[in-house]
Structure 1
Amino acid sequence: MELIAGVPLLFLTLTLIATSQASQVEKPLPIHPLRSAYGSGHDHHLHGISCASWRLGVEAYNLRDWKTVPSSCEAYVGHYMLGHLYRQDSKVVVDAAALYAQGLNLTKDGKDVWVFDIDETSLSNLPYFAKHGFGVEPYNATLSKQWVDTGKGPALPESLRLYKKLLSLGFKIVFLTGRQEVQRKITVTNLKEAGYHTWEKLILRSPEDTGTAIAYKSSKRKELEAHGYRILGNIGDQWSDILGSNVGQRTFKLPDPMYYIS
């Protein structure tokens, strides 16, 4: 069993899964036991700049094209992701999205859709990143694929709550991901086991889909609209999920200080 500072990694996964299956959790998660391995929450500094300010720059899209989390910020990012602030920040985004959705008058023709990204939006890869420095280590395509292929990504609780709310309002759900087409079967299994039981479309990247994430997702959204779908909402953890063309009527960005995709 993998250990992080003496704590089983499996405990992190089980905690996330249990939380994702809880119904309408209103209180933020208690601070995760693993957080002690990453400091007491005191800010760290990068060349005289606080890591909290670095994260703000990331979320405000002022810092772009960065490759890894600064090594001096590993403890800070780990504390943020494993503590309650990540959940609270996600709740603010989802609450705003749900309020917006409730105010819409849907056409009831089955063409009103909400686009969800998958990784760090619908499903969490935190068990993987906890083993790899919370983004401090350079991206490793082989190891990342091996993790995805386990099909054990737990649902992000706030995103699952939004998903259920949107279904109750009559939205159709479209999952649009940068995962490869060859990962469709395991992705379907993982989504369903995590609580996402139904959707209109699951769009994965084929070998013919070249270019940046922004270009790829823009083209897929354009295709959706060409088939008569109306994208009323669009949520993702990366700016590349919500930038480009055909982004939808409203976009919502979830926090993610662990990696950047252009």
Structure 2
Amino acid sequence: MTASTASIWTRRTAATAVAALAAVTVLGATAAPASAAAPAATTAAAQPATSGTAGLKGVDYDTWQRDVQAVVDRATPYVTERTAHADGHKQAIVLDIDNTSLETDFHWAAIPTPAVKPVLDLTRYAHSRGADIFFVTARPGILDSVTEWNLRKVGYPVGGLYVRHLPDLFEAVSTYKTAKRAEIEAKGYTIIANIGNNTTDLTGGHAERTFKLPDYDGKLS
């Protein structure tokens, strides 16, 4: 997340948290713990954006989807090859959340926020081939349960979710995310792919390959 998007991100996530908590209360649901089985998968298709819809900063939805798909198309053969040669080792894919895993800027008030479908398809494919899926986000810890509920609700297999608690809130985003990838490696995983839409999601190592989704010079957080 860039400084120029911080205020928008704060307003958006606060509104999302309030709406999500309200929705969960109304439905009589609670956020699923990490050990719980994921609910039946739904995808971004359940709440599609209208063709040509713009995000918070005027990014065209259809263009964004095509650009995301182009990155996923490059990543898929690599994931296929890499998961075919796990050789008994635990493999992981690490993802950012906002505008990487979830269509946050296009559906910032939607509950649940729809998945970025090409990324969802890739991660479910990787998971079917034995890779565990981890999410490392700069969202604050107060959004932990709501975020995990959203991810599971739209169909993501969640092997782990990292949000920022104290003292992480005072660290640079790239430093925090690098440290969390190192924690995943310390659990015995090889991170075969790290996917995000900002350089702060991807710098610092602790991943064999990185795949950057479009952010259009910071227009998508």
Normalised by the size of structure 2, how large is the TM-score?
0.70
- Offset at 1:19? 6.6
Deviations 1:228-254 (A, max 9, x none): 2111111001111001232x0000001
- Offset at 1:31? 7.4
Aligned match for 1:124, one of 96, 100, 103: 103
Distance between the aligned counterparts of 1:113 and 1:211, measured in 2? 24
Could you tell me which residue of structure 1 aligns to residue 44 of structure 2?
20
Structure 2 residue identity aligned to 1:121: T
Distance between the aligned counterparts of 1:211 and 1:33, measured in 2? 37
* Pair 1:245 & 2:205 matched: yes
Distance between the aligned counterparts of 1:180 and 1:19, measured in 2? 25
With over 3 angstroms needed to count, the CA separation of the structure-2 counterparts of 1:34 and 1:199, relative to structure 1, is closer
Q: Is the 8 A contact 1:151 1:187 kept in 2?
A: no
Aligned match for 1:32, one of 51, 56, 69: 51
Q: How many residues were matched structurally?
A: 175
* Pair 1:189 & 2:168 matched: no
Deviations 1:89-131 (A, max 9, x none): 111100111110111111344x2101011111001112357xx
Distance between the aligned counterparts of 1:33 and 1:202, measured in 2? 32
Could you tell me which residue of structure 2 aligns to residue 90 of structure 1?
68
* Pair 1:222 & 2:202 matched: no
Aligned match for 1:211, one of 146, 168, 171: 171
Give the alignment of 1:139-154 within 5 angstroms.
147=109, 151-154=111-114
Give the alignment of 1:16-165 within 5 angstroms.
20-21=44-45, 32=51, 34=53, 78=58, 80-82=59-61, 84-104=62-82, 105-109=85-89, 111-127=90-106, 147=109, 151-165=111-125
Deviations 1:179-237 (A, max 9, x none): 111111111111122221x2221111111113111100111111221222111111001
User: What secondary structure, in the 3-state scheme, does the structure 2 residue paired with 1:166 have?
Assistant: helix
- Offset at 1:20? 2.2
Deviations 1:21-44 (A, max 9, x none): 48xxxxxx9971546xx9xxxxxx
Q: Is the 8 A contact 2:43 2:114 kept in 1?
A: no
Could you tell me which residue of structure 2 aligns to residue 231 of structure 1?
191
Could you tell me which residue of structure 1 aligns to residue 214 of structure 2?
255
With over 3 angstroms needed to count, the CA separation of the structure-2 counterparts of 1:33 and 1:219, relative to structure 1, is closer
Distance between the aligned counterparts of 2:51 and 2:43, measured in 1? 12
Structure 2 residue identity aligned to 1:219: A
Distance between the aligned counterparts of 2:73 and 2:52, measured in 1? 26
Structure 2 residue identity aligned to 1:228: G
Structure 2 residue identity aligned to 1:103: E
CA RMSD of aligned residues (A): 2.7
Q: Which runs of 4+ in 1 moved over 2 A?
A: 18-22, 126-129, 257-261
With over 3 angstroms needed to count, the CA separation of the structure-2 counterparts of 1:98 and 1:206, relative to structure 1, is same
Could you tell me which residue of structure 2 aligns to residue 180 of structure 1?
140
Percent identity for Structure 1 against Structure 2: 33
